[in-house]
Amino acid sequence: MSTNAVNGSDELVIATGNAHKVEEMRAIFAAIAAEMGVTPARLPKFIGLESCGVSIQTPAEVGKTFEENARIKAIDYAQQTGRPCLSDDSGLEVNGLNGAPGVISSHFCTDGEERGMSRSERDEANNRRLLLDLSELPTDQRNARFVCVMALAGSSAEPILTKGTMEGRIGLSPRVPAGNNGFGYDPLFLVAPDYQSTSAELTAREKNRVSHRQAAARQMISYLLRRKPI
């Protein structure tokens, strides 16, 4: 069986409703493959949910960890689409907040509840909440990391999971927010080890070389290249 045959399919669905994340993940997989000398033909074609031709319902993310939520989404989307699906759950952990926002990173401003806000509205409100919660904390308690867990689900009983992190620190005003090349908490996140640039100030290529998704995707590509159908 060829390496790009995943459950008999030449396509692998990047199963997320976040268009920014779809494009970022495609770029990351392409860059890693090129770096490894892997031709596109050796990997599945990465497509979005909109290409599946079916009505999609977003699964409830009720897990208490990134691993649980990634697994929930991959299995649910694979069942809905009838195709192998790659989902991820990612977020921000801040040391001085005991790992918060964690799994509720995308809805931190509403304590994890969906309130019908647009993505940009949530991003702005989340960032305001984070800076407020950190306003009394010194620099050494503002250390943080982006975490990404990817889950690949198909016909097998249990998805394949990979995990990556990106270390950094939440900056202080007026240094942050800064940058226009990211989303979410990127404008607040000063990237380790030198803490000179926020994630949103990096170019897409620079970010994709060091990001948490890059680390998880590199492990996932290694799995796909081992010719194991899912």
Annotated domain spans of the chain: 11-224
Does residue 152 surpass a pLDDT of 70? yes
174 upstream amide cis, omega within 30 of 0: yes
Q: What's the pLDDT band for 178 if we cut at 50, 70, 90? A: very high
Secondary structure (DSSP) of 23-92: HHHHHHHHHHHHHHT--GGGSPEEEEGGGS-S---PPP---SSHHHHHHHHHHHHHHHHSS-EEEEEEEE
Query: Average per-residue pLDDT in the chain?
Result: 90
> Residue 181 in contact with residue 203, Cβ under 8 Å?
yes
Which tokens hold the place of 103?
């799994």
pLDDT for the residue numbered 23: 87
pLDDT for the residue numbered 230: 44
Q: Which residue has the higher pLDDT, 156 or 103?
A: 103
pLDDT for the residue numbered 2: 30
pLDDT for the residue numbered 8: 43
Active site residues: 89
pLDDT for the residue numbered 156: 66
Q: What's the pLDDT band for 227 if we cut at 50, 70, 90? A: low
Q: Quote the pTM value.
A: 0.89
Residues 186-198: tens digit of each pLDDT: 999 999 999 999 9
Tell me the residue type at 161.
L
Q: Kindly state the average pLDDT of the residues 107-111.
A: 96
Q: Kindly state the average pLDDT of the residues 218-222.
A: 93
Is 11-224 a CATH 3.60.10.10 domain? no
CA distance 121 to 12: 31
Residues 33-89: tens digit of each pLDDT: 999 998 888 889 999 999 898 999 999 999 999 999 999 999 999 999 999 999 999
Looking at residue 99, the DSSP 8-state letter turns out to be T
Which tokens hold the place of 90?
């990612």
Does residue 141 surpass a pLDDT of 50? yes
CA distance 14 to 23: 10
pLDDT for the residue numbered 7: 46
Strand pairing class (45-48; 143-153): unpaired
Residues 117-126: tens digit of each pLDDT: 998 999 999 9
Does residue 106 surpass a pLDDT of 90? yes
> Residue 96 in contact with residue 111, Cβ under 8 Å?
no
CA distance 132 to 122: 15
Degrees to nearest 5, angle at CA 108 with 107 and 113: 45
